[in-house]
Amino acid sequence: MELTFLGTSCMVPTKERNAQAIFLSYKNEGILIDCGEGTQRQMNIAGIKRTSITKILITHWHGDHVSGLIGLIQTLGNVENPPTIHLYGPKGTKEHTGHLMKCCKFDARANIKVHELNPKDIHTFYEDNDFMLQCASLRHSVPCLGYSFVEKDQRKINMAKAEKLGLKSGPLIGKLQDGQEVVFKGETIKPNQVSYTVKGKKVTFILDTVFCTNTIKQAENSDVLVIETCYASDLEEKAEQYKHMTTKQAAFIATKANAKEMICTHFSQRYKITKPLEDDAKTYFPNSRCAFDFMKVKV
């Protein structure tokens, strides 16, 4: 699993920071979290193929989080076999997407399947054999969601132990890896005899919100918590006014949620460099760092 930060600015882009977007790659999945203005170009620079996108998760419909969508959709349709893209977002997403598709003229060949989410609590809205996607409602000036990517625990075969029992690669090993008992030469072999469990990773994205209970619930036991720190801790009043958070508030969430690492993003343009924000965050949560455009993080 790898994260690429394509934009780390707040509403106004700067020379160093583009509008908000993050790309998560996992096996055959490419998940784009928000799509601010200029996201396509950022993907080009980062070496990420736009056709690798399988899902788009929209946190909310403020322009700095979605203004790159229409160009991206047009580009995704400009290939021989246009892909099917699943787009998820908060209440109002179907209406907003409909308006977006009518705002300019082009042949909309990409198949965009829109899913509107309105969770009452932590809600799993997608699941397959490898991972789950979860969301929760946050508190911003418009409907807003936090998202978590939750990798499922994986069973790994200890081939040395398996070979001692006479087992080699094949269907029986596959069944054991799926957690099933098998019979080999008249003996029942249980999965735990030849395998071990690797705990899955959890990555949480909390953007554009004031502190609320769901921020802690969403971030609980995250290996990586990506969270907005629009302001340093001395501007809590301004953060409350504009429905954002400070480094201190984000660190409180990370601590209470038992997160392993906190990565700060979505910085106000008032900060020419992010070192003061990073230093501030480390005061309250030592395993913190500030993201920067094109930063890659292996999870």
Token output for 171 = 């269907």
- The strand pairing partners of 224, in sequence order, are 203
Please state, in angstroms and rounded to a whole number, the distance separating the CA atoms of residues 108 and 123: 31
Same domain, 257 and 115: yes
Residues of the chain with pLDDT under 70: none
Domain boundary, last residue among 163, 179, 196: 196
Q: What is the pLDDT of residue 222?
A: 98
Find the CATH number of the domain harbouring 11. 3.60.15.10
Same domain, 146 and 272: yes
Residue the block writes with tokens 């392993």: 260
Q: What pTM value is reported for the model?
A: 0.91
Are residue 27 and residue 63 in the same domain, yes or no? Answer: yes
pLDDT of residue 39: 98
Last residue of a domain, one of 166, 196, 226: 196
Q: Per the structure block, which two tokens stand in for 262? A: 């906190």
The rounded distance, in Å, linking the Cα atoms of 151 and 161 is 26
Which burial class, exposed, middle or buried, applies to 237 when counting CB atoms under 10 A from its CB (0-12, 13-18, 19+)? exposed
Greatest extent of the chain over all pairs of C-alpha atoms, in Å: 72
The predicted structure's pLDDT at residue 295: 98
Domain hosting residue 26, numbered range: 2-153+201-298
Tokens encoding 114: 């829109």
Structure tokens at 113: 């399947």
Same-domain check for residues 170 and 64 = no
Number of structural domains (the chain) is 2
Looking at the fold, whether 52 and 11 belong to one and the same domain comes out as yes
The answer on 129 and 70 residing in a single domain is yes
Q: Give catalytic residues, as residue numbers.
A: 64
Same domain, 8 and 108: yes
Say what the pLDDT of residue 158 is: 86
